[in-house]
C-alpha cells in the first residue's frame, strides 16, 4: 500500500492569504516538483471567488485544477480525481458537502485516492470531513455533532481559537460522549497524518496551538513551527 497522507487544517491556508508556509508543506508531500493539485469547493457551493483565490495561491507552484459539482458535473469524476497528486477540500457547509459527495460517488473516490497515495488536505469543512465525526455549524447558528467519512479515527474541531463557541461546545460534546475523543486545531494549524496516525501538528503562525480532547481532559500538543 502507498504511503497515505492527510493534512487537516483548523483554518487559514490559502483561504486567508496568511499561510503560504503550510500550503507549501502540503505541496511538499507530493512526489513531483509541480504537483497536480485539485480543489474541491463543494462546501462553499462552488464559490467562484474561492476558486479564483485557489488558483492565485497555487498557479506558480503547482498544476491547479478544480472539481465543480453544482450545475452539470463532469462525467469522468473518478479518473479526474485519481489523476491528481493532491486533493484540497475547501471550507463551508460540511453536511451539504458530504451529501453532495455521496450523490456523485466522490466519497468513495476520495477513499480510493487516499489508498493509492494521493495526498488529502483541507480547511475547516475540509478538515472535519476526514474524521469519524466533528462539530459543525452546518445546521444553523448552534454548533452540532456530525458524522463524517471516517478515514481517520475520532472527532475533529477546527477554528478552536477564532470562533468563541467552538471550544466550549466541542468540550461539552466530548464530555457527554456525543462525540468521540479527538483533536482540535486553532486557525493556521495543520494536523499531519500518515496512515491513520497523527505524526505532528505544524503551523506557520507563532502562537497557534493544537489539542487532544478527551472527556474531562484537554492536552496541548507540540506544534512544529514552519519557517
Instruction: Indicate if 159 belongs to the active site.
Output: yes
CATH code for position 164: 3.40.50.880
Instruction: Indicate if 124 belongs to the active site.
Output: yes
- Tell whether the model's pLDDT for residue 227 goes beyond 90: no
CA distance 44 to 123: 12
Q: How confident is the model at residue 30 (pLDDT cuts 50, 70, 90)?
A: very high
As a whole number, mean pLDDT of residues 77-88 equals: 98
Q: How confident is the model at residue 112 (pLDDT cuts 50, 70, 90)?
A: very high
Under 8 Å CB-to-CB from 173, ≥6 apart: which residues?
135, 145, 179
* Residue 64: strand pairing partners: 37
Under 8 Å CB-to-CB from 71, ≥6 apart: which residues?
46
CA distance 66 to 195: 25
As given in the structure block, the three cell numbers for residue 63 are 498544476
Q: How confident is the model at residue 210 (pLDDT cuts 50, 70, 90)?
A: very high
Determine the 3-state secondary structure of 20 from DSSP: helix
Range of the domain at 132: 5-225
Task: Determine which one of 15, 44, 124, 127 is catalytic.
Answer: 124
- Tell whether the model's pLDDT for residue 23 goes beyond 70: yes
Q: How confident is the model at residue 206 (pLDDT cuts 50, 70, 90)?
A: confident
CA 18, distance to chain mean position in Å, is 17
- Number of structural domains (the chain) is 1
8 Å CB contact between 93 and 50 = no
The pLDDT assigned to 20 comes to 67
As a whole number, mean pLDDT of residues 125-134 equals: 97
pLDDT digits (tens, 9 = 90+) for 60-81: 999 999 999 998 899 999 999 9
What is the DSSP secondary structure assignment for residue 226, as one 8-state letter?
P
- The position carrying cell 489523476 is 83
Task: Determine which one of 138, 159, 192, 203 is catalytic.
Answer: 159
- C-alpha distances in angstroms, 39 versus 59, 124, 128, 162, 227? 12, 14, 16, 24, 25
CA distance 67 to 88: 10
Amino acid at each position: 500500500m502507498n504511503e497515505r497522507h492527510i493534512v487537516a487544517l483548523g483554518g487559514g491556508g490559502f483561504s486567508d492569504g496568511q499561510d503560504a508556509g503550510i500550503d507549501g508543506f502540503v505541496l511538499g508531500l507530493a512526489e513531483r516538483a509541480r504537483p497536480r493539485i485539485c480543489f474541491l469547493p463543494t462546501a462553499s457551493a462552488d464559490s467562484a471567488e474561492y476558486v479564483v483565490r485557489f488558483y492565485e495561491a497555487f498557479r506558480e507552484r503547482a498544476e491547479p485544477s478544480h472539481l465543480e459539482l453544482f450545475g452539470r458535473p463532469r462525467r469522468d469524476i473518478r479518473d479526474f480525481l485519481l489523476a491528481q497528486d493532491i486533493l484540497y477540500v475547501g471550507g463551508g457547509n460540511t453536511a451539504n458537502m458530504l451529501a453532495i459527495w455521496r450523490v456523485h460517488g466522490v466519497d468513495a473516490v476520495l477513499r480510493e485516492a487516499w489508498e493509492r497515495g494521493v495526498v488529502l488536505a483541507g480547511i475547516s469543512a475540509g478538515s472535519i470531513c476526514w474524521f469519524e465525526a466533528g462539530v459543525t455549524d452546518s445546521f444553523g447558528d448552534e454548533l452540532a455533532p456530525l458524522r463524517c467519512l471516517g478515514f481517520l479515527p475520532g472527532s475533529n474541531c477546527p477554528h478552536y481559537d477564532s470562533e468563541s463557541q467552538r471550544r466550549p461546545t466541542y468540550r461539552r460534546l466530548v464530555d457527554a460522549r456525543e462525540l468521540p475523543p479527538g483533536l482540535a486545531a486553532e486557525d493556521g494549524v495543520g494536523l499531519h497524518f500518515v496512515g491513520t496516525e497523527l505524526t505532528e501538528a505544524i503551523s506557520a503562525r507563532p502562537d497557534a496551538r493544537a489539542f487532544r480532547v478527551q472527556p474531562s481532559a484537554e492536552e496541548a500538543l507540540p506544534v512544529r513551527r514552519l519557517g
